[in-house]
Amino acid sequence: MAPFTLRDARFPDDFPAIARILSAAGPDWPVTAEVLAHEHEGRDPALYFTQVVAQQGGEVVGVGGLGHDSFSFEAWRYGGRVAVHPEFRRQGVGAALYGELLRRVRERGARELRTMLSDLPHDRPGVAFLTARGFRPVWDRYESSIHTADVDLGAFGGLWRDVAAGGIELRSLAELRGDPERDRRLHELDWLLFQDVPTGTALTRRPLDQWVRDELDDPGLRPELSFVALDPARADPLTGPYVGYSTIGWNPAGDYGYIGMTGVLREYRGRGLARALKVAAMRALHASGGGLIKTFNDAPNRAMLTMNEGLGFRRTATRTRYELRLDPQGVDSGA
């Protein structure tokens, strides 16, 4: 068993090695060095984040990162993950990375740690690792997927007629680039919609510039596949005519799309708009060559789960949030 050492990650030099490790440890969600660089460059400097790598014989074999969650911020709450390349496991690398990260956030007064793992086979060692350290499962999120080749996209003519008859227009984010208020309106709309998403945690509203960096400037976002529902008769001071939207991002390493947010304002629900937004994305993707789309819904969100099932999405995994409560005296407990 060769010795290993821990050190702070070096940016941007370590991005390729970190991407390789994260992709090997989580093959269902591979990442690229470019994606990691974007995340790093766009991270809110006011929020804490630390990343450590394990090096063995000059090769980076493991990585661990821990920091504040901009989506659900509390100064005492930290989220992240530890990943070790499968070829270098059972040598104490993961335990050492975890121990160092835990030491760092304990010094900052951390009271809670969060991470998320799936029920897929490659995550089973990680679940055992967390369980042995007192983490407890607290929240489930279901992953489902569909391939555009498996959908009869011509079967939605009635849906389109109903949407048009209601005076609603669907425009892609690419088509709306000319609206100088687009980003601000989407920021307001996103916040309103998330109030009704059962996430199991208190939400933090990100400032407009940070939200734009995270969401609209994400290199994975496919503006031509992401759609906004507009009511031209509506002139809301916050969202203007924007009444709903759905985004599609693209994982370049995995070559599949993923749905970010889909939602419609309360007063516009029951008209099939959320369904129409997703069908619009599938039609646009099919027209550009087709492909796989993944979506993620929290377990209590029965309305969206039922709608996705009706569109043909099929459950592929459950992703569980694990939490550990940290005691100031060093006696930790699960949530």
Plot region of 152 (φ>0 → left; ψ -120 to 50 → alpha; else → beta): beta
Q: Is 256 helix (H, G, I), strand (E, B) or coil?
A: strand
> Taking residues 292-320, what's their average pLDDT?
96
pLDDT given at position 295? 97
Please, which residues bridge with residue 137 across strands? 322
pLDDT given at position 226? 98
Task: Write out pLDDT tens, residues 172-189.
Answer: 999 999 999 999 999 999
Is a pLDDT exceeding 60 seen at residue 335? no
Q: Where are the beta strands (DSSP E) in 75-152?
A: 77-84, 112-118, 136-147
Q: What is the mean pLDDT of the chain?
A: 95
More confident residue, 335 or 122: 122
Q: Assess if CATH 3.40.630.30 describes domain 5-110.
A: yes
> Taking residues 160-168, what's their average pLDDT?
92
CA angle 80–81–82, rounded 5-degree value: 145
pLDDT given at position 1? 67
Given 3.40.50.970, 3.40.50.2300, 3.40.630.30, 3.10.350.10, which CATH number is that of 144-319?
3.40.630.30
Residue % of the chain over a pLDDT of 70: 97
Lookup: tokens for 87: 């070829």
pLDDT given at position 179? 97
**DSSP assignment letter at 258:** E
Our CA dihedral for 70, 76, 77, 83, rounded to 10 degrees, sits at: 100
Instruction: Let me know if the fold of 5-110 is the same as that of 144-319.
Output: yes
- How far is Cα 22 from Cα 219, in angstroms, rounded to an integer? 19
Put simply, whether the predicted model's pTM sits higher than 0.85 gets the answer yes
- How far is Cα 112 from Cα 117, in angstroms, rounded to an integer? 17
Task: Write out pLDDT tens, residues 17-56.
Answer: 999 999 999 999 999 999 999 999 999 999 999 999 999 9
- How far is Cα 160 from Cα 162, in angstroms, rounded to an integer? 5
> Taking residues 189-199, what's their average pLDDT?
95
**Cα–Cα nearest to 113, from 259, 300, 324, 319:** 324
- How far is Cα 42 from Cα 206, in angstroms, rounded to an integer? 13
Please, which residues bridge with residue 62 across strands? 54, 84
Would you list the domain boundaries of the chain?
A: 5-110, 144-319
pLDDT given at position 2? 77
Is a pLDDT exceeding 90 seen at residue 216? yes
Task: Write out pLDDT tens, residues 57-98.
Answer: 999 999 999 999 999 999 999 999 999 999 999 999 999 999
Q: Strand 112-118 and strand 77-84: pairing?
A: parallel
- How far is Cα 17 from Cα 51, in angstroms, rounded to an integer? 13
